[in-house]
Amino acid sequence: MSIYLIGDIHGCFDELKIILGQVQFNPVADTLWLTGDLVARGPNSLEVLRLVRSLGDSVRMVLGNHDLRLLSIYAGISRNEPKDRMTALLKAPDIEELINWLRCQPVLQVDEEKKLLMVHAGITPQWDLATACQCALEVETELRSDSYPLFLDAMYGDMPNYFSSELSYLARLRFSTNVFTRMRYCLPNGQLDMSCKDIPNKAPPPLRPWFMLPSLVSECYSIVFGHWASLMGQGTPSNIYGLDTGCCWGGKLTLLRWQDRVFTYVPSNYQNKVSIKKCIMA
């Protein structure tokens, strides 16, 4: 039995099928972990959602910001933009089933036996694991409720940018959603900065990537995340793995086999490529 972790798919269905074939993924014996952002920007979001849903309990995934955007578009809160490339998905006959399945997915995965966490964007250094799990549960409960459109309508916004026990419930939900699905940078005190998207060596001081700040969580767990394609999987501490390598932007789709830390890469537009690179993490 193997655990395979795959970075942001973004509708890149062909590359997903190829990479699963390369490692001979067996849904009966293996488990597939997905870092979120299954949809948008790539060409085949509908096919990706149908495939992942069909795999049932062999998949452990988290929701990303583009997955939440799909839910928001479906609920009539956000506008479907051509760049999202989700029109075929939104017009699909099974869209309601897919939406109801998607909004029941978590924003945080924890495997205590393997001391492994997965999230789309990151874990704020202000949280210990118990706080992260509680905040994740609150977001997940709202998404699974019949009133989820009300939550989505209040979700967007960059404030508050600092966690406190004094935050109202709604403010805490927005902060948590930003941490789990949008965060890249923090100030040294853990305050979120939601504006900077540059690579770390171009970020203005004193901003630092969330994974470079002291953390109670990363001291005890390995963390796998997506979201930050421009990192191309580089520059993180040894126990933190960034798996979004920009397949929908012409990069590659990345898979990590957890047992031996072997990476498999499939280039975007794979039909025009001939090689798959593998490396073993030092």
pLDDT by residue (tens digit) across 130-186? Answer: 999 999 999 999 999 999 999 999 999 999 999 998 999 999 999 999 999 999 999
Per the CB < 8 A criterion, the answer to whether 228 and 7 are in contact is no
Measured CA distances, 215 to 129, 178, 203, 218 (Å): 10, 18, 21, 5
- Measure CA of the first residue to CA of the last residue in the chain; give whole Å: 23
Over residues 1-33, the pLDDT tens digits come to 899 999 999 999 999 999 999 999 999 999 999
pLDDT grade for 269, boundaries at 50, 70 and 90: confident
Which tokens is 115 given? 């001391």
Please indicate whether residue 271 or residue 130 has the higher confidence score (pLDDT).
Answer: 130
Average pLDDT, integer, range 214-227: 95
Q: For 191, what's the count of Cα atoms within 13 Å in the CB-facing half-sphere? A: 9
- Distance separating alpha carbons of residues 62 and 22, to the nearest angstrom: 23
Q: Which residues pair with 109 in a beta bridge?
A: 118
pLDDT for 270 = 45
DSSP annotation of 270 = G
Over residues 119-129, the pLDDT tens digits come to 999 999 999 99
Q: Which residues pair with 31 in a beta bridge?
A: 3
**Domain parsing of the chain, residue ranges:** 3-280
Q: Which residues pair with 265 in a beta bridge?
A: 254
Tell me the residue type at 254: T
pLDDT > 60? residue 39: yes
Burial of 93 (0-12, 13-18, 19+ CB in 10 A): exposed
- CATH T-level fold of 3-280: Purple Acid Phosphatase; chain A, domain 2 (3.60.21)
Q: For 134, what's the count of Cα atoms within 13 Å in the CB-facing half-sphere? A: 8
DSSP annotation of 71 = H
pLDDT for 81 = 95
What mean pLDDT value characterizes the chain? 94
pLDDT > 90? residue 36: yes
Helices (H), 62-184: 65-74, 87-90, 95-102, 129-144, 148-155, 169-181
Average pLDDT, integer, range 79-87: 95
- Distance separating alpha carbons of residues 192 and 183, to the nearest angstrom: 7
Assign 50 to helix, strand or coil.
Answer: helix
Over residues 223-253, the pLDDT tens digits come to 999 999 999 999 999 999 999 999 999 999 9
Helix (H) or strand (E) holding 267: strand 262-267
